[in-house]
Chain A
């Protein structure tokens, strides 16, 4: 919990855990033996490509999908067989699913209404929820009269008005344009801090995952590939998949040629490179090294770094803040490097010669899968 604001409902937050949850469709496992523990009040993101099982896991938590095997617990209570309406979780659906025949106000009243609270008694809560998402002025509109961003806010208000034990969000920003998405990321994060409720967020967008989460779980083919804090995952991906899915990476495959206390050398097509590694490696072993494009120094002359190679610019893209270079090197193949545009040492021109360099700490050894 960062920031000075004290969460208003931290006492209401709950921890959730999954124990060996498996969901089979026929013989196909959409979710394969997933165990997960989500601490009280945290913001956890399930990240993965489509078909990775992230939505199925969320639906199992929500109660819409019955796991074939395994157990789901809220705090110490087993909820695997509790129907969705008895779980008291707030859910924001992909596409929002606002009730088209009800006004904004009535949509937000709905979860309270089914709990037997009259509109008069609910009015304070409805007003607060609307204020929280800055939609007070549009309470009497129908969903069809709202923009995508406004519908998103109403869906959020509707999911949190009844003080749910958990907030479940299924790709809530995927239908919005890029700028709005960025704005709402700030808002969602602020909302989470303010409420103190545990958030479980599903997305395939790595930027959303990195910017908002306390913890990210990366899923692949129904299994957990890796999990951890955003910074730790980004800096220390365990596998090729993670290094490539969360951000971009260059991959260097070589054979270990020598080692000392903290580093080892490996050769790729005859080029010796030096790499830091805490894990032991054996001489002659095949290694795969992932190197982030922004950690490569792009220079006119040979940089003073243990790893350096010369190459020619095969392609470049200008993004305002950055240049992305694709550099063709004689021995290491094409390498992608990014550099701030305001501080670019080289002339961005096709076929011009550039040097690339990086330190042994810049890259990371990953498993080749």
Chain B
């Protein structure tokens, strides 16, 4: 018995440093955020009441949800197409594609956001091109609005969708599609009836990953939105740094956290999250 305990305590000893780090740098600040949200400027749930009363906050939440949903749908659809191609090309092409994807992943978010500003601004490359080929007479408004934010976010999130979907598609044996075709299914029927359902786990992980990331996304919306499109995290920054409403800022941060947990809980009712995150 003592030996068993000894062995257990040895395990705990090994886990201890990590636990300690987590507590000091993660759990403690989190609790403090929660604490401030119910004590500033005065104790109580006053800050949270604003979630229901403030029309301005409603508008921000609505903007955030709308942009995140749109981004998630576009990212997962585009990501699926790229991942599908990667799973079906030869090894050489696959390596090249993977390199390109990881390359954008390694580039700083800031650089990528500014690159999009360059491309999308009123006298940027895209507008010049559109006018040169005569598709439009005057420059289109492509940035400093939701369009620009979504473009930038989709671009940033794509690898997050491609990688889990690709990992999933790689695991689908080609014999399933052959079997479906051999049994009389057209290419379309084989895809919709067999391949797509088998890629569901990849699609779900990608959707969750992208949506949860998008909710808290900050730099790209701030730059490409140009102050015109305010999402929740941008507003939290303003409340923290400029208007110094810490109570409000921490309340929003906490709400954001619960929003993410809510998404996970809802999805968890339908799929095995442990599988999605590769815990099993």
A101 to B194, CA, bound (A): 8
Contact yes or no, B178 A110, CB < 8 A: no
List of B residues within 8 angstroms of A110 by Cβ: 180, 183, 185, 193
Residues of A within 8 A of B194 (CB): 99
Q: Are B189 and A114 in touch, CB under 8 angstroms?
A: yes
Cα(A133)–Cα(B189), bound, Å? 27
Most A-side CB within 10 Å, residue of B175, B176, B179, B190 = B179
Cα A91 to Cα B182 with chains together (Å) = 6
Question: What separation, in Å, do the CA atoms of A93 and B174 have in the docked complex?
Answer: 12
Q: Smallest distance from the beta carbon of A261 to chain B beta carbons, Å? A: 55
> Which residues of chain A come closer than 8 Å to B182, judged between CB atoms?
62-64, 84-85, 89, 91, 93, 168
Known: A99-B194, A101-B197, A101-B198. A114 touches B183 (CB 8 A): yes
What chain B residues lie within 8 Å of A63 (beta carbons)? 181-182
B182 to chain A, nearest CB (A): 4
- Roughly how many angstroms separate A101 CA and B179 CA in the complex, as a whole number? 14
Residue in A84, A97, A162 whose CB lies within 8 Å of B173? A97
Report the bound CA distance from A114 to B181 in whole Å: 10
Given contacts A110-B193, A114-B193, contact A100 B198 (CB under 8 A): yes
**Chief secondary structure at chain B's binding surface:** helix
Interface string of A174-189 (1 = CB under 8 A from B): 0000000000000000
Report the bound CA distance from A344 to B173 in whole Å: 52
A115 at the binding interface (Cβ < 8 Å): yes
Cβ A64 vs Cβ B183 within 8 A: no
Which residues of chain B in 145-196 are interfacial with respect to chain A, using CB atoms and an 8 Å cutoff? 173, 175-176, 178-187, 189-190, 193-194
A97 touches B198 (CB 8 A): no
Verify B185–A97 contact, CB threshold 8 A: no
Q: How large is the interface on A (under 10, 10 to 19, 20 to 34, 35 or more residues)?
A: 20 to 34
Contact (Cβ within 8 A) B183 A93: no
Do A91 and B198 have beta carbons less than 8 Å apart? no
Interface readout for A101-127 with B: 1 if CB under 8 Å, 0 if not? Answer: 100000000110111000000000000
Tell me whether A97 and B184 are in contact (CB under 8 A): no
Interface string of A78-101 (1 = CB under 8 A from B): 000001110011110101010111
Task: Determine whether the beta carbon of A97 is less than 8 Å from that of B178.
Answer: yes
**Pairwise interchain contact B181-A99, C-beta atoms closer than 8 A:** no
In the bound complex, residues from chain B placing their C-beta under 8 Å from that of A95 are: 173, 175
The CA-CA distance from A63 to B186 in the complex, in Å, is 13
Complex contact A85–B184 (CB within 8 A): yes
Q: How far is the CA of A84 from the CA of B185 in the complex (A)?
A: 9
Interface centre among A110, A111, A168 (most CB of B within 10 A): A110
Taking the closest CB of chain A, its distance from the CB of B177, in whole angstroms, is: 9
Cβ of A286 to closest chain B Cβ, rounded Å: 48
Assess A111 versus B178: contact at CB under 8 Å? Given A99-B194, A100-B198, A101-B198.
no
Nearest Cβ in chain B — how far from A64, in angstroms?
A: 6
Question: B183 — which chain A residues lie within 8 A by C-beta?
Answer: 85, 90-91, 110-111, 114, 158-159, 162
- Say yes or no: A114-B186 contact (C-beta < 8 A), given A97-B173, A99-B194, A100-B198: yes
Residue in A88, A93, A115 whose beta carbon sits within 8 Å of that of B179 in the complex: A93
Provide the residues of chain A in CB contact with B187, threshold 8 Å: 85
Nearest CB of A to B192, in Å: 10
Instruction: State how many angstroms separate the Cβ of B103 from the closest Cβ of chain A.
Output: 34
A97 to B182, CA, bound (A): 11
* A115: chain B residues within 8 A (beta carbon): 184
Is the pair B179, A162 in contact by a Cβ cutoff of 8 Å? no
Residues facing A in B209-234 (CB within 8 A) are none
Mask: chain A, 139-166; 1 = CB below 8 Å from B; 0 = not: 0000000000000000000110010000
Residues of A within 8 A of B180 (CB): 99, 110, 114
User: B198's closest neighbor in chain A, by CB?
Assistant: A101
Q: Pick the most buried of B173, B181, B182, B197: most chain A CB atoms within 10 A of its CB.
A: B182
List residues of chain A with CB within 8 A of the CB of B185: 85, 110-111, 114
> In the bound complex, what is the Cα–Cα distance between A159 and B179 (angstroms)?
10
**B175: which of A97, A159, A168 is its contact (CB, 8 Å)?**
A97
With both beta carbons as reference points, the residue of chain B lying nearest to A101 in the complex is identified as B197
A162: which B residues are within 8 A, CB to CB?
183-184
Cβ 8 A contact of A114, one of B175, B184, B198: B184
Chain A, range 240-266, C-beta contacts under 8 Å to B: none
List 13 extra interface pairs beyond A85-B186, A111-B185, A114-B184, CB under 8 A: A84-B181, A93-B179, A93-B182, A97-B176, A97-B179, A99-B176, A101-B197, A111-B183, A111-B184, A114-B183, A114-B186, A162-B183, A168-B182
25 pairs, A vs B, C-beta closer than 8 Å: A62-B182, A63-B181, A63-B182, A64-B181, A64-B182, A85-B184, A85-B187, A89-B182, A91-B179, A91-B183, A97-B175, A99-B180, A99-B194, A100-B198, A110-B185, A110-B193, A111-B183, A114-B180, A114-B183, A114-B185, A114-B186, A114-B193, A158-B183, A162-B184, A168-B182
